[in-house]
Chains A and B, each alone.
Chain A
Amino acid sequence: MVEKPSDEALAAKAKEGDIRSFEELFEKYKKPILNFIYRMIGNKETAEEVTQEVFIKMYKNLAIYDPGKKFITWIYTIARNLAKNALRDRKYFRDASLEEVIAEGDEQVTLKDVISDDTMRPDTIAENEELANEAQKILDSMPVKYKEVITLCNIQNLTYKEAAGIIGCSILTVMMRLKSAKKLFMEKLNLE
């Protein structure tokens, strides 16, 4: 069985002009990047636009990509920068439909219940769109530095080292931020 080439090897090939390798990277990372950006800015349409922008940027910058460095860090760094730009440019933006869903959520199960009630299974959120929306709403209300660590470490399951590389800080900083971020999240759920 032929071993799958690494991301770095694919990027190196793409750097040499191999469009198929680029396509492969796009297929592999489009979903994680879209989700990362969506969690950061909270709007799917905009997130899609920014994601496309990320891959365009990546394509343009392949010439300066250093195959000795981890590809995942590089692509996420681009994504993080563009997501932050988008947040800065579209501060006014709020998803109206999200507000409505939360408003009529009185009789439904809330995120607070899921986390505080031992009888409830935590993976309910996977099927429950309202819960997911509620989580996203809380993320939206948090400072960027907190929501990016939650997104990278908790939602996307990247390692602390990878997150540190993407954010451009030390692993210790990531851990401290993540702790503060979780605390803030709980506070927003009135659980602290």
Chain B
Amino acid sequence: MKKARMDKFDIVMANLKPVEPSASFDFEFRRKLQDVRAKESEETRLERIFRIAFERIRYALLPQVPVMVRVVCTFIAVTTIGIYLYALQPAGPSLLASEGVVLVRGADSKEWSEIGPSYTFKAGDTIMTKEDSGLDMALSNKYAIRLKGQTTLTIAKLTPRYGKATALFKLVGGKIFVNIEEGFKPSRFIVDTDSASAKALGTKFSVDVSNGAGQRTNVSVLEGKVEVGGKRKREDAPRVKDSVVVASGQKTIVGMGEAPAKPERLIEREWQELEELYQVGKRPQVILLIKNTPDRARQLLEPCAISISDEKPRQIPGLLEDAVLKINDAINTGDIDKHREGIKLLERIVDEYPNKKYDVQLLLYIGAYYEYLSMYRESISTFEKVLEKYPDSPLASVAICAIGIIYDEKLNDRVKAHEAFRLILEKYPNSLEAIWVEKNMKKEIA
């Protein structure tokens, strides 16, 4: 019955009388078509290409795709474009701390205004610090900059939030410390002054054009490398092509319109000045409390204290905190067994949680502790581990120097001691220890 009705329905529908176009239908259509063709002849080639491309997308593709798919595709497209645009936005460093009088001027404004807390810097900003003032700014995981007193710095170009690019800072006067971190490595960091341009290839350096230096630019490097190039005095002057790579422990000076001087080793006072770089931005999580003086190795063997920065405690294994507590306890009670336990804990950390951020510091510390406990062989083998695993660390020279001192003073093995000191001069000629060896051991090892 039902089927019969359905069949009948089909026949009824098939027999529905079709409507006929009205008399004016064709005439109307031809008139409209005529209009279109007239318009078409006015259309330029480019317009036609654009129209066809647009229509192609609209009619040939979209109506065939189900609504849900279209909605999802549109959502994905919009989100992707949104994320892309977000990532393209320049990432401005924010103010970490400031002291004294610090003024800032935006790209468009002429007025200087006092910097507010948690200020985020934009491209075009100029920052000026007065005498005895200072400012730290940082872009998380990318770079940190410290402005000393009487410094004027213009932020010419910032890198986008994601992706690599060039960050350009113009140092008008004064002195800045720069600390580049891992996250910034693919990008380029350039500090421009009137006379020079410093491109960071490494991590920690300072640029100085303070009044004492006249129009000359001083670039000192604590870690990594910086490429320094000279600049033309005027547009028509011959181009100064030469550039030098300043390695860690070196400095160079660039005069106006001159090529940079051959990099030289930093002198003792400069090392101490650069020590400040360790405080710029995020500090290392494990710090050896030794001063940047040539007798660093001796300070280490005192033994020095160890400190864990509490900025990001979660990145440090709990074991390390235990070890530090145990060692502090050992120091307080003078218990040799507790000392040994503490050292064993630290050794476990180095073995089980290798992290190049603090392994060198910990190994040095362990070595120094063995020495303190008169376990000289263990001490030397620990220091040798530093040389084996991290020969490029800026603290590697401290390890060799410590080995030299132990051979010299504790084991009375002059030959091996002098071998170690000579190695410092050969392999780490720009290190602080090289200064120390030259000062104290020159005659003996000659």
**A interface, CB within 8 angstroms of B:** 26, 30-31, 34-35, 38, 44, 47-48, 51-52, 55-56, 59-61, 63-64, 66, 77-78, 80-81, 111, 114-116, 118, 122-123, 125-127, 129, 132, 135, 150, 154-155, 157, 168-169, 182, 185-186, 191
Contacts and interface: CB of A to CB of B under 8 A. Distances in A.
B14 A35 contact: no
Contacts of A31: 18, 20-21
B33 A47 contact: no
Contact of A64 (B21, B28, B60): B60
Contacts of B439: none
B52 A63 contact: yes
Contacts of A30: 21, 25-26, 29
Q: 4 shortest A-B CB distances, which residue pairs?
A: A154-B13, A122-B11, A126-B15, A123-B15
7 contacts: A38-B19, A52-B28, A56-B36, A60-B36, A63-B52, A123-B12, A125-B16
B21 A34 contact: yes
Contacts of B15: 122-123, 125-126
Contact of A48 (B21, B60, B65): B21
Interface SS of chain B: helix, strand, loop or mixed? helix
Contacts of B48: 63
B246 to A, nearest CB: 62
B5 interface: yes
Nearest to A191: B5
Interface of B: 4-6, 8-22, 25-26, 28-29, 32-33, 36, 40, 48, 51-52, 55-56, 59-60, 63-66
A111 B13 CA distance: 11
Contact of B59 (A47, A51, A64): A64
A55 B9 CA distance: 32
A67 to B, nearest CB: 13
A132 to B, nearest CB: 5
Contact of A182 (B6, B14, B18, B29): B6
Contacts of B25: 30, 34, 48, 51-52
Contacts of B20: 31
Given A48-B25, A155-B16, A123 B32 contact: no
B63 A56 contact: no
B9 A182 contact: yes
A90 B5 CA distance: 34
B63 A154 contact: no
B52 A64 contact: yes
Contacts of B51: 60
A55 B59 contact: no
A52 B32 contact: yes
Contacts of A123: 11-12, 15
Contact of B12 (A64, A66, A111, A157): A111
B8 to A, nearest CB: 5
B55 A129 contact: no
A89 B401 CA distance: 87
A77 B59 contact: yes
A169 B18 contact: no
Nearest to A131: B12
Given A52-B25, A60-B40, A135-B13, 17 more contacts: A30-B25, A30-B26, A30-B29, A48-B25, A51-B25, A55-B33, A64-B60, A114-B8, A114-B12, A123-B15, A125-B16, A129-B17, A132-B16, A135-B12, A154-B9, A182-B6, A186-B9
Contacts of A125: 12, 15-17
Contacts of A61: 55, 59
